[in-house]
A and B are shown apart, each in its own frame.
Chain A
Amino acid sequence: MTEADDIRLAQQGDRAAFEALLSAYYDTIFRFAYKWCGSRADAEDVTQQACIKLARTLTQFRFDSAFTTWLYRLVINCAKDWQRSQSRHWGDDRPGEVVALAEESDAQDNPAETNIYLQQVLGILDDMAEGFKETALLVHGAGLTHAEAAGVLSIKESTVSWRLHEIRKQLLLLQTSSAPLQEARL
């Protein structure tokens, strides 16, 4: 049975097909969410929300794009919802907490170093204008091409390239100009 068949069956209400679909994509969603949130617990929450949302909205998938494209859109929306709810709950003490949480819970599957880089990059992406974080994650985190990312975000391919360029500039700025700041973030 192909994936498209699974999707069609699930849209018609086939529970098993839906479960198969979910189970196949859970890991992808989770990895994406993890890179978005930077911590396991949050990523699990986001992934869970995304799965539930998928159950509600699968019928809206019209096969006019790749399923992954559509799925990434959904996951990004969930992740953004999560981010909004976080900023509501946490106020400004959040960033420090994120680092602490992540270091603690992920020592087992990541070298601490990677995690620090992740926190650092996320910190910068969160400070940038809307749209940058998802662009970076789709291309660098999920390994999509610029064209595919453009498809997910419904923007021009050139915009994707431009955003990535801007992000690179920001990172360069951080690395060269402000070593102390960088340490402070760590």
Chain B
Amino acid sequence: MTDNLIDKAFATHPKPDSEAKKRALALALMEFDAVQETQALEKQATDTQPAEGPAAQKDPAPQKKLSGLQGFLAWLRLMGTHNPNRTDSMNGNAFTFAQKKLLISGLATCSLAVVGVLLFQQMPLHTSSSMRDDLAMSKEVRRPEAAAGADQAVEEIIVTGARELEIAAQYSPAEPMVIAEQQAMSAKRAQETARLAMPASPMPSAAPASDLAVVPPPSEFRDRFAEFQENSVKAVSEEPVSTFSIDVDTAAYSFVRRNLNNGYLPPKDAVRVEELINYFDYQYPVPSDKATPFLPSVSVMDSPWKTGNKLIHIGIKGYQLPASAIPRSNLVFLLDVSGSMHSPDKLPLVQQSMELLLNNLQPEDTVAIVVYAGAAGTVLEPTPVKDKQKILRAVQQLQAGGSTAGAEGIQRAYELAEANFDSKAVNRIILATDGDFNVGPTGDSDLQTLVERKRDQGIYLSVLGFGQGNYQDAMMQTLAQHGNGVAAYIDTLSEAQKVLVHEATSTLFPIANDVKIQVEFNPATVAEYRLIGYETRALQREDFNNDKVDAGDIGAGHSVTAIYEITTVGEGKPLLEPSRYATEKTRPADKLGDEYAFLRIRYKLPGEKQSQLIEKPISASQSITLDKVAPGSLQQEAGFATAVAGFAQLLRGSHFTGDYSYDDVIALAQKTKGTDDYGYRTEFIQLVRKAKLAKAM
């Protein structure tokens, strides 16, 4: 019976992960080369000769040498492990010192011979021995499969690939210095760093989707999403006014992308339509100065998923700060280094993301780092960015382990931000976590209160989400919403690049706070309306004019899009039955007969308490069609937003999209993707295809 238990326990036959295997083999081979190299160097006892590895390996070389050296010396000494049960450590095989000595001298003699040969051939010393020829040959032989592997990777990252290269380019200047620092660290540490530095391989984006069918959905979702019901159709006669707060978060899109890249459809509640739409940058008209921080662009078009219905498309584009107007930043990173962050798509990605952001900050900006795990601790006091090496060193040394004391960590972070508070600067805490705040008295609401209080003092909070399996989306949304920050989900290095480099200004510098949108529909022309998305951002009608009520913020250059679907009086087929007892007294004046609705936007300029109002009528005269799409036009942008909205609703299993299909989404997106500088829209089209496949399975 007991044997049974043991056998049952060991009856597991896990299949090794081929990626992990490749990685391990590559590292071991690097080590192998290093050992060979070091042996050659040791043997000659000449350190004047530079070790010229093959060009491709040049970068990791300094690390390699260090660990190789240790590796080489390691066999000279008995392993220092303590050994109470007489278990033989592998080096204990009666290796007497005399034998070692013989061996060493033997090696030395060999090396002399090697040097002789090399000198004779008058070749620069770039091989450790003549065996290197074999090595070169074997490399030739192996090349085809290596190339095949590379091709696979390339195929997957068509879109992201270019950006990965950019990133690599940006990285490299700092790298040698960092490596020099690392030489002082232990060999183990160096190896770990080497693993992190390996291009793309630990990054989920590079590998997983190469084969859609392979990865099954996790049997159990621990990711936590707030449930919400899709906005339903409202009768204008009953509820003519719709009010909501804008939302500039993008987390939902990255999360959905990650799911689709892994070959399965995302959980319904993870799909927040507005976040998918707002993930993309739209070229709406931009205001020319800071006093009016944004302009609304309005258009009306036929609904692609229900004939007779129309879509009202409201686009807002924030004013882009000129470089000279960018304020100083006082940033405190609050990093989760708990055990759950111990995964290549979490802490290492956090570290890489931070390095990206560092490259993008001004020299006088300050950065501090607080970590939380079993206990919270300050890793780095506020340090100016011009002292980049110090910051990088602190980032490199982070390690995951322990449980999560988020509450204590967040308090510590606020203390640091306050200590360094600058009323002219942007004071912001950037929380990077997979969502666990599970130690300490930390209901989501307690934290929320803290975040709100600090927000009013001028310290904002943004959240970067990482990882999957335990992702606490609801909590992150709450924190970012109440901290006047952005919640972004970082699934790949290129997403980090998007959020922290391309959109750094919008992520970091708000130009308008508490932006609320209110649309009043004209009962004479509109029978029904439905707001697409923004379910979690709905406001009460009376909240609109109440400046005490918090709402979303717009960063410099941000674009925000909202779409209403309306059924016009007379034209469409309303879903709602007309009320039998309603009186017909609400007929408006005839001169407004052409208007569908009236748009009001309230916002506060940063630092102000009083809100300002923008008003704009929405009428049939703003109609556009998608028959001909000029590049850079409003049609194009509205069209693409519509495609994304359609896709998001399909993913959510919406009841309102009729026969609209993924193919329709692809067609529309293809037509409206425009120049697509960073490839985000092309990536979107690929995602739709993946969703189609995932759904078919």
| A interface residue numbers (CB < 8 A to B) | 12-16, 18-19, 22-23, 26-27, 30-31, 34-35, 40-41, 43-44, 47-48, 51-52, 54-57, 59-60, 62, 64, 70, 73-74, 76-77, 80, 89-91, 93, 97, 104, 106-110, 112-115, 117-118, 120-122, 129-131, 134, 136-137, 140-141, 153-155, 167-168, 171-172, 175
Known A-B contacts: A52-B31, A130-B84. Give 9 more (CB < 8 A): A26-B25, A35-B10, A44-B24, A51-B24, A56-B68, A97-B340, A108-B218, A140-B9, A168-B6
Interface 1/0 per residue, B116-144 and A, CB below 8 Å: 00000000000011011011001101100
Interface bin, chain B: 35 or more
Known: A56-B31, A56-B74, A70-B90. A129 touches B85 (CB 8 A): yes
Q: Is the CB of A118 within 8 A of B29?
A: no
Interface 1/0 per residue, B567-579 and A, CB below 8 Å: 0000000000000
Q: Is the CB of B20 within 8 A of A44?
A: yes
Shortest beta-carbon distance from A88 to chain B in Å:
9
Q: Is the CB of B28 within 8 A of A22?
A: yes
A sample of 10 inter-chain contacts (CB < 8 A) reads: A15-B139, A35-B10, A40-B14, A47-B16, A70-B90, A93-B374, A109-B15, A117-B11, A130-B87, A141-B10
Q: Is the CB of B339 within 8 A of A60?
A: no
Q: Is the CB of A168 within 8 A of B134?
A: no
**Interface residue B628 (Cβ < 8 Å from any Cβ of A):** no
From B21, B32, B402, residue with most partner A Cβ within 10 Å: B32
**Interface residue B216 (Cβ < 8 Å from any Cβ of A):** yes
Q: Which of B21, B84, B90, B339 contacts A57 (CB 8 A)?
A: B90
Shortest beta-carbon distance from A95 to chain B in Å:
12
- Residues of the A chain whose Cβ atoms lie less than 8 Å from the Cβ of B81: 77, 80
Q: Which of B87, B134, B469 contacts A104 (CB 8 A)?
A: B469
Q: How many A-B residue pairs have CB under 8 A?
A: 203
Q: Is the CB of A56 within 8 A of B72?
A: yes
Shortest beta-carbon distance from B402 to chain A in Å:
7
Q: Is the CB of A167 within 8 A of B6?
A: yes
Closest to A153 in B: B87
**Interface residue B98 (Cβ < 8 Å from any Cβ of A):** no
A59 to B106, CA, bound (A): 14
| A-B pairs with lowest CB-CB distance, top 9 | A56-B71, A154-B88, A16-B138, A89-B401, A51-B28, A131-B85, A121-B9, A55-B31, A117-B9
- Residues of the B chain whose Cβ atoms lie less than 8 Å from the Cβ of A43: 14
A12 to B342, CA, bound (A): 37
A76 to B83, CA, bound (A): 13
Known: A22-B28, A44-B20. A16 touches B141 (CB 8 A): yes
Q: Is the CB of B2 within 8 A of A175?
A: yes
A30 to B84, CA, bound (A): 27
Shortest beta-carbon distance from B198 to chain A in Å:
11
Q: Is the CB of A73 within 8 A of B138?
A: no
**Interface residue B219 (Cβ < 8 Å from any Cβ of A):** yes
**Interface residue B27 (Cβ < 8 Å from any Cβ of A):** yes
Shortest beta-carbon distance from A71 to chain B in Å:
9
Known: A114-B9, A167-B6. A13 touches B88 (CB 8 A): no
Q: Is the CB of B16 within 8 A of A26?
A: yes
A50 to B381, CA, bound (A): 38
Identify which of residues 84-128 in chain B touch chain A, using a CB-to-CB cut-off of 8 Å: 84-93, 128
A97 to B138, CA, bound (A): 44
Q: Is the CB of A31 within 8 A of B13?
A: yes
Shortest beta-carbon distance from A23 to chain B in Å:
6
A48 to B20, CA, bound (A): 8
From A74, A77, A117, A131, residue with most partner B Cβ within 10 Å: A117
Q: Is the CB of A107 within 8 A of B14?
A: no
Shortest beta-carbon distance from A54 to chain B in Å:
6
Q: Is the CB of B87 within 8 A of A134?
A: yes
- Residues of the B chain whose Cβ atoms lie less than 8 Å from the Cβ of A27: 16, 21
A80 to B8, CA, bound (A): 23
Known: A14-B138, A31-B14, A167-B6. A48 touches B27 (CB 8 A): yes
**Interface residue B609 (Cβ < 8 Å from any Cβ of A):** no
- Residues of the A chain whose Cβ atoms lie less than 8 Å from the Cβ of B8: 113-114, 117
**Interface residue B536 (Cβ < 8 Å from any Cβ of A):** no
**Interface residue B75 (Cβ < 8 Å from any Cβ of A):** yes
Q: Is the CB of A106 within 8 A of B7?
A: no
- Residues of the A chain whose Cβ atoms lie less than 8 Å from the Cβ of B9: 114, 117-118, 120-122, 140
- Residues of the A chain whose Cβ atoms lie less than 8 Å from the Cβ of B7: 140
- Residues of the B chain whose Cβ atoms lie less than 8 Å from the Cβ of A19: 25, 29, 142
**Interface residue B325 (Cβ < 8 Å from any Cβ of A):** no
Closest to A39 in B: B14
From A13, A43, A60, A107, residue with most partner B Cβ within 10 Å: A13
Q: Is the CB of A154 within 8 A of B86?
A: yes
**Interface residue B399 (Cβ < 8 Å from any Cβ of A):** yes
A12 to B85, CA, bound (A): 34
Q: Is the CB of B85 within 8 A of A97?
A: no
Closest to B403 in A: A93
- Residues of the B chain whose Cβ atoms lie less than 8 Å from the Cβ of A54: 28
Shortest beta-carbon distance from A93 to chain B in Å:
5
**Interface residue B36 (Cβ < 8 Å from any Cβ of A):** yes
Identify which of residues 155-214 in chain B touch chain A, using a CB-to-CB cut-off of 8 Å: 191, 195
Q: Which of B29, B88, B342, B343 contacts A153 (CB 8 A)?
A: B88
Closest to B127 in A: A13
**Interface residue B23 (Cβ < 8 Å from any Cβ of A):** yes
**Interface residue B12 (Cβ < 8 Å from any Cβ of A):** yes
- Residues of the B chain whose Cβ atoms lie less than 8 Å from the Cβ of A77: 79, 81, 89-90
A114 to B399, CA, bound (A): 31
